[in-house]
Structures are given as C-alpha cells and as structure tokens.
Amino acid sequence: MSLDQVFGYVKDNVGEISDFLLDGTESVIVVEMTCSTTDYVKGKRVKARGQLYNTLSLLSMNPDVRNHLENKQSRYVVFSWKETFPENQEMDSVEASMKGMILMSDEVYSPDNESKFDFGFKMKDIRYPDVLTCQ
C-alpha cells in the first residue's frame, strides 16, 4: 500500500514519508525507493533513513498500529535504489578515479547485509535488480 494514501487523510503536514508499507502475516516492511547515479546514493540513503524513521514515528503514534507492528516476527525498513547512468558516458580522469572507489564500495554491498534500526526494525539496502529476502 502506498503510504501517501495512508497519510493523505491527515490534514497536518507530516513531513517526508516512505513510499510503501508491505504487511504480511508474519512480517512488515517499510520501503523507500529511488533512482540515482552511484555518486548520489550515499546522500539519498541518509535522506531515506530520515523518511523511514519519520514514517515509523507516525505509525507508532497510534497504539493499535504500534501493537500491530510490534507483533510481527519480522520487521524491516528497506532503502532500495536503481542505478541510473549519466547521459555523457565518456569519463574524464576524475570520473575514472571515482569508478575505482565505486567498485570498492560494491565489494561492501550485499543484499544480505542488515543492521539495527529504530522501533525494533532491521534495515536492509537493496539495489535493483537484487531481490529482497527477509527472515
């Protein structure tokens, strides 16, 4: 379900929220998605973390919703991105140097990595076309 639909009924400005809430029998996943070039993903991730936190804060304000979320065995927030490429494919020396750093950062990325997040959630980064798996 799109979270814009959920918070669209609220008259107050709730700030920036995440894109989707996926609610299953035993799991709940809050998703923030973007398309970006590699050099902007880090900044987008910081912004996404804020949106994910704000979304969970708003959802947790309602005792029934908070209880529903807390009763899930699996709770994740996900920052997902699709790599876009600049129109100019020719690289200058600075871009060539950056490519080496990007490849190094790719070695650290794994769709299996997860970290602790607030409200009892775990966080995952998923880069398209990788598939999200949660346990």
10-28 pLDDT, tens digit per residue, is: 556 778 888 999 999 999 9
| CA 4 to chain centroid | 16
Predicted confidence at residue 112, as pLDDT, reads: 78
Mean pLDDT, range 38-64, rounded to an integer = 89
The tokens describing 122, both together, are: 């775990």
Portion of the chain with pLDDT greater than 70, in percent? 73
Residue 44 makes CB contacts below 8 A (sequence gap 6+) with 34, 36, 79, 81
Residue with tokens 């009892």: 120
| Residue 34 CB neighbour total at 10 angstroms | 16
Tell me the pLDDT tens digit for each residue of 61-119.
889 999 999 999 999 999 998 887 765 555 555 655 555 455 445 557 777 788 999 99
pTM: 0.76
Q: What tokens were used for 93?
A: 């020396």
